[in-house]
Amino acid sequence: MSAHADTHAHDDDHGHHHKETFVTKYIFSQDHKMIAKQYLITGTIMGVIGVLMSIMFRMQIAWPEEPNVLFEALLGKWAPDGVMNADIYLALVTIHGTIMVFFVLTAGLSGTFSNLLIPLQIGARDMASGFLNMVSYWLFFLSSVIMIISLFVEAGPAAAGWTIYPPLSALPMASGGSGMGMTLWLVSMAIFIASSLLGSLNYIVTVINLRTKGMSMTRLPLTIWAFFVTAIIGVVSFPVLLSACLLLIMDRSFGTSFFLSDIFIQGEVLHYQGGSPVLFEHLFWFLGHPEVYIVILPAMGLVSEIITTNSRKPIFGYRAMIMSILAIAFLSTIVWGHHMFISGMNPFLGSVFTFTTLLIAIPSAVKAFNWITTLWKGNIQMNPAMLFSIGFVSTFITGGLTGIILGDSALDINVHDTYFVIAHFHLVMGISALYGMFAGIYHWFPKMFGRMLNKNLGYLHFWVTAICAYGVFFPMHFIGMAGLPRRYYTNSNFPLFDDLTNANVVITLFAIVGGAFQLVYLWNFFVSIFFGKKAEQNPWRSNTLEWTTPVEHIHGNWPGDIPHVYRWSYDYSKPGHDVDFVPQNVPLMDGEEELQH
């Protein structure tokens, strides 16, 4: 099971290039490296839309009901005289959440790096099924297009929050966005889930079957462990969201009553009887909570790899890191109820979910301590990727700690659905995962495009982003503790919150500056694809196998035989070697002992 000897059988077909047309090379490509780039570019475009939306609704919160040229230009009829209306505010909040969680941090992050790194780091010519991989990307693309189209429907896009709790999401008379907008949202998500499942199955099969000779599971880089476990969580939990979406579609269109009961709206009683919105909440969060780990685990994997490479030190506690990934994955499927402490479910269930939720802090703490110890006595190379990785650990700790409050059912009573929650999850899974993604892009850009990103722009990008991220989300904890509910179009009807106005303006200013500085990154990214400095084969002096492939992409990855693996990927600064890194394909020297891990 450990290694796959058959890989040699394929060694013959890589050398001579198949005749590739523009369409098969750049559009309907089955090459994992091209598909990774397609995921990244699509995710980036969706990310720009998502961030722009957040800046718009932050402006509305800071300067409520004031005319704004940006609104007038972008929102059209939804901003008469440039004043944003309440419906589009909720729609922006909803679509921002949906896009960032699913399209950017699930597909854009996991899709990009699982595709790029799994075959390259385990020593495989490609994914187990290149065709399924292509289908997976194009389904993702289709779902993105449908989601974008939903922004332009007459009655407005979905506006029930990204959690789309029924009955609000089920009844067009309850919210304009619950008509055609919600239909498209559900169709888009159903297709997205199909895409995600195809991708995940492919990753699992590839990792299990296509590892090169010598690449045992205990020699796998932590990136691969993270992608592998993420794919398993996805396969376990995404189908549940699909079923929730399908049942909701049936309630909406075919008159069933899975989630609806006893409803009187706009002067009439609806026929629904016997369903329960709480059931939807259970189904949604059965995916919804593992989803945050689907987002964060790949980022953790990338960060582990980048921290160890740039510290020129082995990752501390490799085995503990794997165990904590597995523990997090297992626990992630039994904590969903902490989103529902006050949903009306039995309080005893709340007690159980408090217990499981706080347990998950333990493996998370182990990971954070291990990263910090990896830095200790290292020889740290401050590449932009490394800065984002250190930033990741910082925001992961800050955001993660407040989870102790939210996971505690008693304390959740008073901060549930306030800005405290927004602050918590944006730091721990939003900003952190985004940092993980940026770190990955800065680190593997040479592998993807054969050119280097400009490092000084990278430094500028990191430091401004780091300051703005804290500037936006840190004060939000306090606004939440003051009792300000999330998803309020304006707070001007509550004089009680008038003293939070200035804090909201400061937050919005940080958001605008932070958002604007992402342009630095976009500039760097797109310009460097064409004009960046040509990359060396192994610019970061890294141990993993992807850096043994040629800079120019070829189908099949290695021009000759696939390299064999003789050691784990963390032999940095190993005593007895002249250089401070020993790639995995270098055989053990005479008398050299492999670390027992």
Partner 1 sequence: MTAFLTLIIVLFIAIAIWQMVKIFDLAQVGSSNSQVATEKDNTINAYLMMGFLVFIYAITIASFWYLGDLPLMSNSASEHGPGLDNLMIISMILIFIVQTITQFLLHYFAYKYKGEKGRKALFYADNNTLEAIWTFIPVVVLAALIIWGLFTWTSIMNVEETEDTIVVELYAQQFNWKARYAGEDNTLGMANVRLIDIDRANILGVDESDPNAQDDVITTELHLPVGRPVLFKMRSQDVLHSAYMPHFRAQMNCVPGMITQFGFTPSVTTSDMRQNPDIQEKVANINSIRLGNKEKIEAKGQELLYEFDYLLLCNKICGTSHYNMQMKIIVETQEEYDAWMKEQKLFKDSLTK
Give the DSSP H or E segment for 250: helix 222-253
Interface with partner 1 in residues 388-417 (CB under 8 A): 390, 393-394, 397-398, 401-402, 404-405, 408-411, 413-414, 416-417
> Interface with partner 1 includes 418 (CB under 8 A)?
yes
| 572 DSSP β-pair partners | 581
> Interface with partner 1 includes 382 (CB under 8 A)?
yes
CA distances in angstroms from 231 to 196, 227, 236, listed in the order given: 9, 6, 9
| 94 DSSP β-pair partners | none
Give the binding range for partner 1 (CB under 8 A) out of 99-107, 136-144, 162-170, 433-441. 162-170
Non-local CB neighbours of 84 within 8 Å, separated by 6+ positions: 56, 57, 60, 65, 68, 71, 75, 78
Between 235 and 509, CB nearer to partner 1: 509
CB of 109 vs partner 1, minimal distance in Å: 22
In this structure, how many other beta carbons lie within 10 angstroms of the beta carbon of residue 140? 29
Token pair, residue 351, equals 């007690």
The answer to whether 499 and 424 have CB atoms below 8 angstroms apart is: no
CB of 274 vs partner 1, minimal distance in Å: 8
> Interface with partner 1 includes 174 (CB under 8 A)?
yes
CB of 492 vs partner 1, minimal distance in Å: 7
The answer to whether 370 and 315 have CB atoms below 8 angstroms apart is: yes
The answer to whether 272 and 338 have CB atoms below 8 angstroms apart is: no
Please tell me the distance from the alpha carbon of residue 255 to that of residue 398, in angstroms, as a whole number: 46
The answer to whether 207 and 200 have CB atoms below 8 angstroms apart is: no
> Interface with partner 1 includes 354 (CB under 8 A)?
yes
Three-class SS of residue 268?
strand
CB of 440 vs partner 1, minimal distance in Å: 16
CB of 578 vs partner 1, minimal distance in Å: 10
Interface with partner 1 in residues 529-568 (CB under 8 A): 532-533, 539-540
Between 96 and 416, CB nearer to partner 1: 416
The answer to whether 366 and 304 have CB atoms below 8 angstroms apart is: no
Please tell me the distance from the alpha carbon of residue 176 to that of residue 199, in angstroms, as a whole number: 34
Between 161 and 239, CB nearer to partner 1: 161
Please tell me the distance from the alpha carbon of residue 221 to that of residue 212, in angstroms, as a whole number: 13
User: Where do we find the tokens 């709480």?
Assistant: 278
> Interface with partner 1 includes 180 (CB under 8 A)?
no
Tell me which of 113, 285, 318, 566 binds partner 1, using CB under 8 A: 318
Q: Which amino acid is at 594?
A: E
Please tell me the distance from the alpha carbon of residue 582 to that of residue 593, in angstroms, as a whole number: 13
Tell me which of 368, 551, 554, 586 binds partner 1, using CB under 8 A: 368
In angstroms and rounded to an integer, the radius of gyration of the C-alpha atoms of the chain is 24
> Interface with partner 1 includes 26 (CB under 8 A)?
no
Closest CA relative to residue 299, chosen from 437, 156, 116: 437
> Interface with partner 1 includes 45 (CB under 8 A)?
no
Interface with partner 1 in residues 279-308 (CB under 8 A): none
> Interface with partner 1 includes 375 (CB under 8 A)?
yes
Please tell me the distance from the alpha carbon of residue 143 to that of residue 131, in angstroms, as a whole number: 18
CA angle 518, 431, 89 (to 5 degrees): 75
Binding residues with partner 1: total (CB under 8 A)? 151
CB of 142 vs partner 1, minimal distance in Å: 28
**Contact code string over 434-463 relative to partner 1, x by CB under 8 A:** ------------------xxxxxx-xx--x
Give the binding range for partner 1 (CB under 8 A) out of 20-28, 46-54, 203-211, 574-582. 574-582
Closest CA relative to residue 286, chosen from 225, 227, 232, 338: 338
Backbone angles phi, psi at 418, to 5 degrees: -100, 180
CB of 544 vs partner 1, minimal distance in Å: 16
Please tell me the distance from the alpha carbon of residue 382 to that of residue 373, in angstroms, as a whole number: 17
Tell me which of 40, 75, 84, 90 binds partner 1, using CB under 8 A: 90
> Interface with partner 1 includes 349 (CB under 8 A)?
no
Interface with partner 1 in residues 473-532 (CB under 8 A): 474-475, 477-479, 481-483, 485, 487-496, 498-501, 503, 512-513, 516-517, 519-520, 523, 532
Between 12 and 81, CB nearer to partner 1: 81
> Interface with partner 1 includes 580 (CB under 8 A)?
yes
> Interface with partner 1 includes 256 (CB under 8 A)?
no
CB of 425 vs partner 1, minimal distance in Å: 16
Tell me which of 41, 70, 201, 250 binds partner 1, using CB under 8 A: 70
The answer to whether 231 and 329 have CB atoms below 8 angstroms apart is: no
Tell me which of 2, 216, 218, 351 binds partner 1, using CB under 8 A: 351
**Contact code string over 211-250 relative to partner 1, x by CB under 8 A:** ----------------------------------------
Tell me which of 46, 100, 168, 329 binds partner 1, using CB under 8 A: 168
Between 216 and 351, CB nearer to partner 1: 351
